[in-house]
Amino acid sequence: MKKHETIPRCDDGVLYGGTVSFDSALKPSAQSPAPVNLGTDVPCPGVGCGVGSAAGDYVILTTTGITDVPPSVITGNIGATPIGGAAIGISCGPPAEVTGTIFEADAGGPACFVEDPAGLGTAIGYITIAGSAYRDAAGRAPTFPINLDGGNLTGLTLVPGVYRWGTDVSVNAFGAVKLAGGPNDVWIFQMSGNLTLNSSATVILIGGAQANNIFWQVGGGVGATLDSASVMYGTILSAAAVVMKAGASLTGRALAGTDVTLISNTITSPGPLVGGLPPLVPPPIVQPTVPTVISTVPVKGGTAFPIASALAATFNEPMNPATINALTFSLIKGVITGGAPVAGTVTYAGVTATFTPTVQLLPLTSYTATITTGAQDLSGNALGGYYIWSFTTAATTTPPTVISTVP
């Protein structure tokens, strides 16, 4: 299904302005780049193998540790290397702050941590400034003019593509930036400076856009800062730190070249990866509309139906007139299969089929009408099942009269 979003037009008239059309269910938009590969798990046995050997296996991955003011709610794996487990300031609980696995490079953390120096070493290699994932995100050619709006994204609606700034990038306090695209569209944001979502700033996804397909490459010396109560989506590839202040939330990954700071935050995995890449979202399965009979004349179980009247059945949608005929709409005398058929003509108009008996029905008699699955709608979908209803006719409509007397 095509959707449209009207977005602010900048003076240069590039594609982040005007009316943008995108496909919310099928292929990525024409300007959408390929996603950044966050690494593939190395098959075991071997050095640096198994789950935890790809950067995409983590929602937090850092080289110098994690500082946490609890309680934080973290859904996904976290880890740090080369620094030891003692620098991962996450509590084992109760209550546990992490739904997932906490990987450490040594045995310096609590008992709930899993020691995996080799796997962590492989994973961290993807996200450092020399790593393949970081270099890929930083090296893509921009698809829009550089330094859009001077790095202030507040109030913009951005379509899929690669955006580059040689400056800091920010969203004002209580402001928002919208990312408009389908579930397979990709955004890559490159910045030489720092990234800041100020207090209560929000990234908004519309049109089915997915956090798994959004990448923020941050090259500044401070890194990425998500201020209090801000809402962020996507994978942050920071050359330096990722700092989350009180109540900020991230649906994505905080992959930091230095440290990660948490203050009662919520971090949620953006979804699984396949071979280091977000899996394509298939188009929705559209169930065919099944035609049904929604009303009849007479009603099912009706009595005193006039013997000179026609029967009618109304459908929930237009039907193929060629399939509404004497073979699919019939009437018999009685209420059991095998009753004597009643001759008649069948017509169809609008969404209503009409059966007109050739001869007048008998008074005070039961009849059964049937519409078969041979009746189809305009798309060729058959009636959901035989529709059968019985009724009883009225007494004769001509009361007896005295026509002569003697004397």
Question: How does residue 122 score in pLDDT terms, banded at 50, 70 and 90?
Answer: very high
Q: At which residue do the structure tokens 């569209």 appear?
A: 185
Average pLDDT of the segment spanning 23-49: 75
Q: Is the pTM of this model over 0.75?
A: no
Domains and CATH numbers, the chain: 55-268 (no CATH), 293-393 (2.60.40.1220)
| Residue 20 pLDDT | 47
pLDDT tens digits for range 276-327: 999 998 888 877 789 999 999 999 999 999 999 999 999 999 999 999 999 9
pLDDT tens digits for range 156-190: 999 999 999 999 999 999 999 999 999 999 999 99
| Residue 298 pLDDT | 97
Q: In this structure, is the dihedral angle defined by the CA atoms of residues 251, 227, 179 and 159, taken in order, positive or negative?
A: negative
- Residues of the chain by 3-state class (helix, strand, coil), percent to 5: 10, 35, 55
Average pLDDT of the segment spanning 68-92: 96
Determine the Cα–Cα distance for residues 327 and 246; give it in Å rounded to an integer. Answer: 72
| Residue 28 pLDDT | 72
| Residue 203 pLDDT | 98
Main-chain dihedrals φ then ψ at residue 378, nearest 5 degrees? -70, -15
Q: CB-hemisphere CA count at 13 Å for 279?
A: 7
**DSSP character for 300?**
T
Determine the Cα–Cα distance for residues 172 and 154; give it in Å rounded to an integer. Answer: 6
Evaluate if residue 200 carries a pLDDT over 70: yes
Q: Which of 243, 260, 228, 253 is nearest to 67 (CA)?
A: 260
Determine the Cα–Cα distance for residues 48 and 29; give it in Å rounded to an integer. Answer: 37
Token readout for 310 is: 């026609």
What b/e sequence results for 255-275 when a residue is b if at least 16 CB atoms lie within 10 Å of its CB, and e otherwise? Answer: bbbbbbbbbbbbbbbbbebee
